[in-house]
Amino acid sequence: MKTTRRDFLKRAGLGSAALAFPGLMTTGCAKKIRPNIIFIMSDDHAERAISCYDQSLIQTPSIDRIAAEGIRFQNSFVTNSICGPSRATLLTGKYSHLNGMRDHSDTFDGSQLTFPKLLQKAGYHTSIIGKWHLKTDPTGFDYWNILKGQGQYYNPDFTENGTPVKYEGYATDLITDKAIETLDSMDKSKPFCMLIHHKAPHRNWMPNLKYLEAFEDQEIPLPSNFRDEYTGRLAAGEADMRINDMYLSFDLKLHDESIEKETGTGGKAAFAENVTETWKNTYNRMTDAQKKGWDAHYDEVNAEFKRLKLTGDELLEWKYQHYLKDYLRCILSVDENVGRVLDYLDDQGLNENTLIVYTSDQGFYLGEHGWYDKRFMYEESLSMPLLMRYPTEIQAGQVANEMVMNLDFASTFLDYAGVKVPAEMQGASLRGIVGGHAPEKWRESIYYHYYEYPHGWHNVRRHYGVRTERYKLIHFYQDDVWELFDLQEDPSEMNNVYSDPAYQKIVQETKQELVRLQILYGDVEIDKS
């Protein structure tokens, strides 16, 4: 009987992936296959809003599928919890002080070395679709189609390989549409690395019309520290990211005729001067048909607000419920579209040879400490979800407790592609961990540095710090204020024990570790101005 190429590949365990992408097989005795890479990143997606991490808020079956068929990281952290700097770190594998993107006043230098450039040089088709947010045009990509600036949820403006274009539809759906179109059209002889980067669930949390009624009849419990008074934490008390200070229009979708005046600042006092006009402009991006569906839901919200005439604590809790439900509704669209990508891989016979990663650019506060947003080194914004699936190497259903960082993404992708990791990249490949043979010496602490003060949003003071398995030391260095938290005894980080005599040995040990990490990563010249 004649043996066909398909029969041979099937017997070799290569299946339809090699048929679809014949160029993936390298020459040589080992005949190793370089995996495709799909890197899905949402924006501001808290671990607590993914059901494989926490079942209390939402069900995310598609995102959970990556964890069930691969690995879930329990201790995944960001180096600098803010959108642009986080993206610069994942591209370069370097801390903010080295890649030049400390905060949003900086502009990313696209001439520097990034993992997409190295993969492109190694024969990968590279692409990014969705949020970019680095001011300069992407480099190292064969194809790019990115949101303009922060991006809009409805009928967003994109730039496709340098050409402005506007699409009608919902951003999360559109990003996935363009990703699948690109996968269909690319050169099938080459492996690919695709970055699918969603705007959602970033502020101002505008859900897809089909999900507007989700969670409508639910009362979402308040976090235990929702009414935090920030005792012993000066910087936390001064931060302008309280749910109480959200804009009634822009954040909570109230029309100006429903409110007597805007309250609070919502993160930047100057923004409040034109915030209702900004909300009108955002709303008016919708088509008449979209507005009809939107108004069918939010007209009732407006009517309820006018009828209740809430003040004080009742108003605060009303804001919380409406904020969090809109946030979760945005995630339903993210989960749906992750499912579309997974189904596409299945349909095309690509799932076995595709490394798929789901993460967020940082964590987010869902009412903890009375907050929304991120920036602080406290757990909710320091932690980011991380799930990986690669059936060829990663055993299904794993949970990893090692301390990993967004600093590690570049090294990991290069490692899987068989590309030498440059010495300038400061992260470490996660391949050993997910393959069940973690290095004997893995990091036992992580270093963090946030810069955007006083010129940025939310009034979060500059700080750096170290986190070990049990302790977290933070230095707000412009004011020379220190905080120490015992995460075992105080997981909500409510009690600063820096001055507690019982913790003085820990203070000294964590300070020594902090200095060691600053030297290791070259962050030794701290600007305290």
pLDDT of residue 16: 34
The answer to pTM > 0.85 is yes
Beta bridge partners of 193: 37, 126
Domain residue spans of the chain = 450-521
Q: Which of 9-18, 281-290, 323-332, 391-400 has the lowest mean pLDDT?
A: 9-18
At residue 8 the predicted structure's pLDDT band, cuts being 50, 70 and 90, is very low
Tell whether the model's pLDDT for residue 3 goes beyond 70. no
pLDDT mean over 365-386: 98
Q: Look up residue 524 and give its amino acid.
A: V
At residue 379 the predicted structure's pLDDT band, cuts being 50, 70 and 90, is very high
Q: Could you tell me which CATH number the domain at 450-521 has?
A: 3.30.1120.10
pLDDT mean over 157-179: 98
Q: Look up residue 90 and give its amino acid.
A: L
Per-residue pLDDT reduced to its tens digit, 465-516: 999 999 999 999 999 999 999 999 999 999 999 999 999 999 999 999 999 9
- Terminal Cα distance for the chain, rounded: 78
pLDDT of residue 99: 98
The larger pLDDT score, comparing residue 4 to residue 252, is at 252
pLDDT mean over 315-323: 98
pLDDT mean over 368-377: 98
What is the distance between the alpha carbons of residues 425 and 118, in angstroms, rounded to a whole number? 12
Tell whether the model's pLDDT for residue 66 goes beyond 90. yes
pLDDT mean over 6-29: 36
pLDDT of residue 28: 33
Our measurement of the distance from residue 76's CA atom to the centroid of its chain's CA atoms, rounded to an integer in Å, reads: 11
Mapped onto helix, strand or coil, the DSSP state of residue 160 is: strand
pLDDT of residue 249: 97
Report CA dihedral (247, 250, 254, 256) to the nearest 10 degrees. 90
Cross-sheet strand order for the sheet of 157-160? 163-166, 157-160, 143-147, 125-130, 192-197, 36-42, 354-360, 386-389, 71-77, 398-405
Q: Which of 438-442, 461-465, 488-492 has the lowest mean pLDDT?
A: 438-442
Angle between helices 312-347 and 171-185 (to 10 degrees): 20
Largest Cα–Cα separation, the chain: 83
Per the structure block, which two tokens stand in for 427? 């992260």
pLDDT of residue 32: 65
Beta bridge partners of 197: 41, 130
Q: Is 173 exposed, middle or buried (0-12, 13-18, 19+ CB in 10 A)?
A: middle
What is the distance between the alpha carbons of residues 345 and 354, in angstroms, rounded to a whole number? 8
Q: Write the CA distances from 61 to 38, 53, 332, 335, integer angstroms.
A: 18, 12, 10, 7
- As a whole-number percent, the residues of the chain with pLDDT over 70 amount to 94
Per-residue pLDDT reduced to its tens digit, 418-430: 999 999 999 999 9
pLDDT of residue 22: 33
Answer for the pair 225, 378: CB distance below 8 angstroms, yes or no. Answer: no
Tell whether the model's pLDDT for residue 12 goes beyond 70. no
pLDDT mean over 261-279: 92
Q: Average per-residue pLDDT in the chain? A: 93
At residue 523 the predicted structure's pLDDT band, cuts being 50, 70 and 90, is very high
What is the distance between the alpha carbons of residues 279 and 274, in angstroms, rounded to a whole number? 9
Q: Tell me the HSE value of 403 on the side-chain side, using a 13 A CA sphere.
A: 16
Measured from the Cβ of residue 315, the count of other Cβ atoms closer than 10 Å reads 16
Tell whether the model's pLDDT for residue 14 goes beyond 80. no
